[in-house]
Amino acid sequence: MTDTPRVVIIGAGPCGLACGRELSALGHDNWTILERSSIAGGLASSIFDTQGFTWDHGGHVVFSHYGEFDRLLSEIMGDDVLHHDRSSYVRFEDRWVPYPFQNNLRHLPPEVAHECVLGLIEAQGGDPSMDFAKWMRVTFGEGITRHFMEPYNFKVWATPSERMASNWIAERVSVVDYRRALRNLILNEDEISWGPNNTFVFPATGGTGEIYRRLALRLGDHIRFGCDVVEVDPVARQLRLGDGRLEPYDTLVSTMPLDRLVQRLQGCPEKARAAAGDLEHNGVYMVGIGYAAPLQDDKSWMYFPQRHAPFYRATNFAKYSPDNVPGGEVDRYCSYMTETSYSPHKPEPRAGLEDRVEAGLRASGVIGGRPEVVSAHLVDIPYAYPVPTLKRDGALNTIQPWLMEHDILSRGRFGAWRYEMANMDHSVKMGVDAARRIVERTPEELWSL
């Protein structure tokens, strides 16, 4: 390694961009991002369809656990954000139950509420060594598991819960105390402010991707678009791009999916290759439906555990920002962004999905009447959620040490492959920490094995 080692970053998503920005902030200017697509932002970029609607890659709620993300957001976006209180609901049969479902049982049909509360009282409490199926049952009891947790989680993860671990849960799932559930039920009280994202911000224009578009502009020529990394030689410390060009590096930060990185590594031990085969992910079809109907709905986003609709979540996207509909005219247009998962365990036919989604929005009471559909826009996201399976940690413990011995840091949502640290704020923090590790040799604060 020279005095100013060349850092190459694969991917201009939140993690890669934050890493580059921090390297410069630390006075280390010898770095390049290689991005295969033509825009920055990765999964957090936005899409502008031909009808004038803006979409994200599924519902992105901008909230943060880290000062580094807060500072980045305020420096890049300033006042160009809208502030929202969360107003989210679960569709159950013919009604809306405020989120979190388990804290608001009074909105359920009485016999279902009774079954859910009884189950909660009988539940003995889970521990993180259990598989997710068992953990749900012992934490929430039979009623909540059967009516909400099990069907909803299968719709999201597209993975049987017996294959999944439960050690990722922490703040991702609201765990309820039966005394509170009983109190809310009997005293007719709601509890809607649970969780880290009960308030959130959203860019006033340009969708979530506006954050990263602006950030990338600041980083200028450090980012090279249209550069698909197809091979990594960790001994020669050299990358090969899709067009055959070679790129030398001293330290590599990769934010591409870890299983793909391993496939592209020369000389990777067989046990690491086998471990990469144990990493599972789902895919998501984002289907955005734009209607010629005024925005009247006050909900932010909605969950769909049942069969009314193929999607597990719908976001009331015109409410996030008027700029998400043509001409900002929310008195003429509204828009719903939906997410439907797929995997080998849950195949979802691509053909006709836009029609099934639109019918689902009507069948589940999201949209009333039969307003004109102005846009039906589908984006296939093949790597959407890194699934925390029972085999995941063993696989990561095999792959990551080998990579790090070769000065390769695999970080970010699919680089680290850890759902519990896979949001934008986590990805940014991992990028910042990677830069500090490289330049200052300080231990990373978020990622660890």
Ligand X SMILES: Cc1cc2nc3c(=O)[nH]c(=O)nc-3n(C[C@H](O)[C@H](O)[C@H](O)COP(=O)(O)OP(=O)(O)OC[C@H]3O[C@@H](n4cnc5c(N)ncnc54)[C@H](O)[C@@H]3O)c2cc1C
Choose the binding region for ligand X from 14-22, 181-189, 354-362, 396-404 (rule: CB under 6 A): 14-22
Residue 61, interface with ligand X (CB under 6 A)? yes
In this structure, are strands 81-85 and 199-203 parallel, antiparallel, or unpaired? antiparallel
DSSP-based three-state secondary structure for 11: coil
Output b/e per residue, 151-163; b: 16+ Cβ within 10 A.
bbbbbbbbbbbeb
DSSP-based three-state secondary structure for 331: coil
Our CB check for ligand X shows the closer of 284 and 293 to be 284
Is the torsion defined by CA of 63, 64, 65, 67 positive or negative? Answer: negative
In this structure, are strands 88-92 and 81-85 parallel, antiparallel, or unpaired? unpaired
Q: Which residue in 7, 8, 12, 77 binds ligand X (CB under 6 A)?
A: 12
Our CB check for ligand X shows the closer of 339 and 433 to be 339
Our CB check for ligand X shows the closer of 144 and 318 to be 318
Pairwise CA distance, residues 367 & 357, whole Å: 12
Nearest approach, Cβ of 113 to ligand X (angstroms)? Answer: 29
Tell me the number of residues near ligand X by CB under 6 A. Answer: 37
CB 33 within 8 A of CB 222: yes
DSSP character at residue 228:
-
Pairwise CA distance, residues 327 & 207, whole Å: 14
Q: Hey, which residues between 332 and 391 contact ligand X (CB under 6 A)? A: 339, 381, 384
Choose the binding region for ligand X from 33-41, 114-122, 156-164, 303-311 (rule: CB under 6 A): 33-41
* H or E segment and range at residue 381: strand 373-387
Pairwise CA distance, residues 142 & 124, whole Å: 12
- Closest listed residue to residue 86, CA positions, set 198, 2, 164: 198
Our CB check for ligand X shows the closer of 88 and 375 to be 88
Choose the binding region for ligand X from 40-48, 135-143, 267-275, 287-295 (rule: CB under 6 A): 40-48
Residue 288, interface with ligand X (CB under 6 A)? no
Residue 207, interface with ligand X (CB under 6 A)? no
- Closest listed residue to residue 46, CA positions, set 282, 197, 205: 205
Nearest approach, Cβ of 125 to ligand X (angstroms)? Answer: 28
Q: Which residue in 7, 9, 23, 43 binds ligand X (CB under 6 A)?
A: 43
Pairwise CA distance, residues 21 & 285, whole Å: 31
Residue 44, interface with ligand X (CB under 6 A)? yes
Residue 16, interface with ligand X (CB under 6 A)? yes
Q: Which residue in 262, 424, 434, 438 binds ligand X (CB under 6 A)?
A: 424
Nearest approach, Cβ of 383 to ligand X (angstroms)? Answer: 7
Binding site for ligand X (CB under 6 A): 10-16, 34-37, 42-44, 57-61, 227-229, 255-256, 284, 339, 381, 384, 412-415, 422-425, 427
